[in-house]
Amino acid sequence: MHRRIRRRILARCSSLLAVACLAACATAPPSRPDTPAIRELRADFLRTFPEGRYNDHIQRGEVVKGMSLFEVLASWGIPDARVIATDDNRERWVYVVVDDASLDWLRYDYLFNGNVLLDWEITRNVTTGLSLDTPEHRPSAMSLPSWASTNRPGGAPLR
């Protein structure tokens, strides 16, 4: 009887722990893998502004609402794309993080008004894998450029 009760308690605790972990992951600030360039930007920023409000987040490579353009730059580095609205004081910075093993990627769109990060949007793409033997990837179904369709060695076009 004690074993049954102990198992129930352990099962409930483990399920509560799993829910807590998922909730923490959902609310955790976005972070990006470090590169030498990002580490250098981050170190320069932290030396220049040692008393910054978001320095703890910057040190961990995290982004949180309320950061300035420069704080996001120090935390994540130069964006992959930057879009500036011409009619108002808004900007969108785009970062793409790719998992080399699976080729899945996450796209982070950071939305700024003036110099302040208001919000972000995250787009996730899960790669299903590429099979070269699918109908659209077979050489007979591909539309090859004229220079590539040749029987001549080396790929030079026939004239």
Model confidence pTM above 0.75: no
CATH no. for 30-125: 3.30.1450.10
Query: Which stretches of 28-115 are DSSP H helices?
Result: 36-48, 55-60, 69-76
Q: What is the pLDDT of residue 27?
A: 58
Among 89, 95, 30, 25, residue whose Cα is nearest residue 65: 30
pLDDT at 23 exceeding the cut of 50 = no
- Coil, helix or strand at residue 125: strand
DSSP 32: -
**Domain-wise residue ranges, the chain:** 30-125
**22: amino acid identity, one letter:** L
C-alpha span between 145 and 96 (Å, rounded)? 31
Q: What is the pLDDT of residue 82?
A: 93
Q: pLDDT, tens digit, for every residue of 124-156?
A: 888 765 544 455 544 454 454 554 444 444 444
Q: What is the pLDDT of residue 103?
A: 78
Mean local confidence (pLDDT), 42-66:
94
